[in-house]
Structure 1
Amino acid sequence: TTPVIGLQEKPHSFIGRLRHFVDIIDPSTLFVSERRLKECIKLLDDFKHGTLPPGVSDLQLWEAQKVKQAIIHPDTGEKIFMPFRMSGMTSDEDLRSFLFFSHWLNQSHNACVNYANRNATKPTPTAKFLQGYVGAVTSAVSIAVGLNVLIQKANKLSPATRMIIQRLVPFPAVASANICNVGLMRHNELSEGIDVLDNNGNVVGSSKIAARHAIMETAFTRVALPMPIFVLPPIIMSYLERLQFLQSNRRLLLPIHSAVCLATFSLSLPLAISLFPQMSQIEVSRLEPEIAMATDCKVVTYNKGL
């Protein structure tokens, strides 16, 4: 049977969200042509209006949905700039090098990804975007670099203790930096609120409380994101480094380590962003009184962003 094509994954199903976001981060969607995108959008529109041409398969519809959801913002209906789509997101695992330029470049990219995939039901003035960008990148880089420098200068600690702490520092550094990045790049939502929708998709009001939930949920995914990256590669590499082949070919260690990190990140990204549905729900009783007065619905929906 022909599937029902919607704009969101099933919010109650983690596996459904995971499969959805695996599609969203597929790097091949970065290279979809404008013509192909328009074909996909038209195919979905035809399906919605019951005017599909004969011979269109379920597979073609799901592929069209994958392309559209990976490229088109659900609020604005416009294309997300290619490097800032979720499929263009890069790994933070190598922050242990703590090079200032690499941190600035990485956090700048993260800031743009957070902005491009935000809830966009309210416009963000250029001045507020720039304020958020400067604040996000400055705080994130300061946290990441500062924590490592602090440990390196902790001369009172024994070398063994310092080494253990240095191995543990990257995760809280990255997690804290990611939280600051999300919060500051999307701070306009906290002051302006975001639209909440009833069961029919109609806007019933603008809620700052829903905005706070959206940003908190997104920030939590950014905390979960680096967890596998800091745990799995060291374990995998400790096993691989014992292999006779790699002991005889030490020059292969760096490319293999990079490949392991990339594979781990490819796994951790969809797992992290699948923790919460993009279109989240919240009880009306938890929102502002004026929203409760504007609808008979018990639960409303909002775009959490990614």
Structure 2
Amino acid sequence: NYRGSFLGRLRHFVDIIDPSTLFVSEKQLKDSIKLLDDYRHGTLPSGVSDHQLWEAQKIKQAIIHPDTGEKIFMPFRMSGYVPFGTPIVKSNIPFCHKLKNRFCQIKCYWCWLNQSHNACVNYANRNATKVGIFRSRTQLYCIFNRISVGLNVLIQKANKLSPATRMIIQRLVPFPAVASANICNVGLMRHNELSEGIDVLDNNGNVVGSSKVAARHAIMETAFTRVVLPMPIFVLPPIIMSYLERLRFLQSNRRLLLPIHSIVCLVTFGLSLPVAISLFPQMSQIEVSRLEPEIAMATDCKVVTYNKGL
């Protein structure tokens, strides 16, 4: 069971975020779903190998939402998070202290784009056992982005600060700012789960009830992964590039710095994503004694399961 250990979950999610699943055809997806259904009902054709079954499960889990059974839009799948998000993440890495102020103003746009992409990913991979109100999410998203962009403008226009203080802020603020924004992003895009609860399942996969306590745990765990995710992205590329920039080869070929920096960001993002989302199982478990009394009365199970989301 891949949920049993961090390493097991890591191996599982490395498969799930494999960008090659973005190129799976509609026919391949339908064949994979049918193969898994045949296996579940004991009607699997002869000659089907374990490798084919695992590959079918990988394709389905990478593309299909576990609650709705519908396809997740390609850029918002976890397998699309790195290839679609890396250009945005790279543009958010704080190198503004090396540029002129007018170029730093572009950061506001990239901040908005980054949080917009994150909001779509959070919504697409949420717990979808309850139907949310899209209009309220849209309104909260607009308010959140105004606040996020406003903070960036405020930092850029803090002319009264000394150059040394401004440089310290530009170097130190980005990570806590992005981490805080990510936490708010998860909370805002999934806030209805806190008021409506999410479905919890017994050992047989039957819905026992809707729990607000489980919803709170799901959102907190997901938000924590969004704090861990940007850590390596903001730390490793600057360290690696500070070393590479001193190499004689790159000093004489300055045009290679941008593509090399992009590759470093891509690799770092690709490594940090599976580590972050592997911290907690997607199908998490919680003791019934910690949930609402009505749920404890509705089942004899001591532990129930819920979809945390990704």
TM-score (norm 2): 0.81
How far residue 155 of structure 1 moved from its aligned partner, in angstroms, is: 4.2
Do the aligned partners of 1:98 and 1:144 also contact (CA within 8 Å) in 2?
Answer: no
Give the drift of 1:165: 1.9
**Contact 2:63-2:71 at 8 Å conserved across structures:** yes
Distance, in Å, in 2 between the alignment partners of 1:224 and 1:266 is 13
- Relative to structure 1, the CA distance from residue 100 to residue 235 in structure 2 (aligned partners, 3 Å threshold; closer, same or farther) is closer
2:238 aligned to 224, 234, 255, which one?
Answer: 234
Tell me if structure 1 keeps the 8 A contact 2:287–2:302.
yes
SS at match of 1:78: coil
Shift of the alpha carbon at 1:283?
A: 0.9
Shift of 1:238: 1.1
2:143 maps to what in 1?
A: none
Q: Which residue of 2 aligns with 1:117?
A: 125
Could you tell me whether the CA contact under 8 Å between 2:94 and 2:171 is conserved in 1?
A: no
SS at 1:305 equivalent: coil
Identity of paired residues, percent? 91
Distance 1:52 1:31 in 2: 26
Cα distance in structure 1, aligned partners of 2:305 and 2:158: 49
Partner of 2:15: 23
Residue by residue over 1:241-269, the C-alpha shift from the partner in whole angstroms, topping out at 9 and shown as x without a partner, is 11111011001101110110011000111
Q: Specify the SS of the correspondent of 1:113.
A: helix
- RMSD, matched Cα: 2.6
Distance 1:98 1:280, change over 3 A: closer
Counterparts in 2 of 1:268 and 1:64: CA distance versus 1, 3 Å:
same
**Secondary structure of the corresponding residue to residue 95 of structure 2:** helix
> Deviation digits for residues 15-57 of structure 1, max 9, x if unmatched?
1111111111111111111100011111111222222222222
Match of 2:161 among 157, 163, 172: 157
SS of the aligned residue for 1:100 comes to coil
**1: CA distance, partners of 2:67 / 2:95:** 33
Shift of 1:72: 0.8
From the superposition, tell whether residues 101 and 268 of structure 1 become closer, same or farther in structure 2 (CA, over 3 Å).
Answer: closer
Q: 1:189 is matched with which residue?
A: 193
Q: Encode CA deviations 1:126-162: one digit per residue, 9 max, x unaligned.
A: xxxxxxxxxxxxxxxxx54344433334445432232
Partner residue in 1 for 2:142:
none
For 1:200-229, what per-residue CA distance to the aligned partner results, in whole angstroms no more than 9, with x for missing partners?
111111101111111111111111110000
Match for residue 43 of structure 1? 35
Answer with 109-118 or 146-155: which moved more.
146-155
Partners of 1:102 and 1:279 in 2: CA distance:
40
Q: Distance in 2 between matches of 1:97 and 1:269?
A: 18
Flag the 1:81–1:153 CA change in 2: closer, same or farther, 3 A: closer
Match runs of 1:1-306 below 5 Å? 12-88=4-80, 104-122=112-130, 143-306=147-310
CA distance in 2: counterparts of 1:229 and 1:45, whole angstroms: 40
Q: Is the 8 A contact 1:23 1:66 kept in 2?
A: yes
Gap runs ≥5 in structure 2: 81-89, 98-111, 131-146
Taking structure 1 as the reference length, what is the TM-score of the superposition?
Answer: 0.82
Off by >4 Å, runs of 4+ in structure 1: 96-103
